[in-house]
Amino acid sequence: MASSRSAWIGGNWKMHGSLADNAALLAALREGLSDAAESEVVLFVPFPYLDQVSRLLAGTALALGAQDVSAKAKGAYTGEVAATMLADFGCRYALVGHSERRQLHGETDEQVAEKFGAALAAGIRPVLCLGETLAEREAGKTEEVVIRQLEAVLNLHGAAAFQDAVLAYEPVWAIGTGRVAAPDEAEAVHRLLRERMAKADASVATALRIVYGGSVKADNAPLLFAKPNIDGGLIGGASLEAKDFLAICRAANF
Ligand code: PGA
């Protein structure tokens, strides 16, 4: 990662956890990261646990995040959670457009762009997830897909909206598969995304954290994070084990 940007690590718990498991995991993380005053480590926890985790994170350097957010402010949207509700629980970040939302729940680029705006409107920093499927990669469409996903948000909200955002490049074929992108392969996409942002606003592009996600583990993290345009990671499976997650955080120089 470039020295001008501070590293960012997200732990995406997905649909895992229980009151007891969360308490144990957080106790271990608090201990392991206690001397990391400048770290930006964010935990994306299931909605029902926001209250528990926000209490357990109080006074630590760890921040709280949500895995999704409604595009709507309020109303008859059964099952949805508004950005203002997330803000009530101290969420600083929200994932938008995670591939599991796009694939399993049919979220479109346009809906993801609306969610991005809804988060910002409530003072929550959106983490825009994007990435190509295996079929798209094999068809040589990686660049086209990630640029399309980025532009859906950029065209609606403008470059200034990315001042408070994080981009997460997560190739779908690497998520939960144990098949990590090669560092050079990931770096090429990160550079492409930063160059596209720079066309819209050079200073926003320079400051923007672009993190990699998809089977990041303690052993592959150092080489990924050494790349100039990879500013950290969004970690799924390995964020559920304190030892693994702490090792990944250390690889990002916390
Ligand atoms: P993974 O998930 O680390 O388990 O591959 C990453 C993600 O989906 O954010």
Residue pLDDT, tens place only, 71-123:
999 999 999 999 999 999 999 999 999 999 999 999 999 999 999 999 999 99
Residue-range definition of the domain harbouring residue 54: 8-251
Is 63 inside any structural domain? yes
Partners of 81 in the β-ladder:
none
Domain of 39: which CATH number?
A: 3.20.20.70
Is 179 inside any structural domain? yes
Q: What is the distance between the alpha carbons of residues 231 and 56, in angstroms, rounded to a whole number?
A: 27
Query: Does the beta carbon of 170 sit less than 6 angstroms from any atom of ligand 1?
Result: yes
For 165-224, the pLDDT digits (tens) are 999 999 999 998 989 899 999 999 999 999 999 999 999 999 999 999 999 999 999 999
Is 2 inside any structural domain? no
* pLDDT attached to residue 61: 87
- For residue 16, indicate whether it is catalytic: no
Instruction: Name the nearest CA neighbour of 223 among 186, 195, 170, 191.
Output: 186
Burial (CB < 10 A; 0-12, 13-18, 19+), residue 250, is middle
Query: Does the beta carbon of 233 sit less than 6 angstroms from any atom of ligand 1?
Result: no
Is 1 inside any structural domain? no
Count up the domains in the chain and report the number: 1
Cα 13 to ligand 1 centroid, rounded to whole Å? 9
Beta-carbon contacts of residue 126 (< 8 Å; ≥ 6 apart): 69, 93, 94, 95, 96, 115, 116, 119, 120, 164, 165, 166
pLDDT band at 37 (very low <50, low <70, confident <90, very high): very low
User: For residues 224 and 3, is the Cβ–Cβ distance under 8 A?
Assistant: no
Cα 130 to ligand 1 centroid, rounded to whole Å? 12
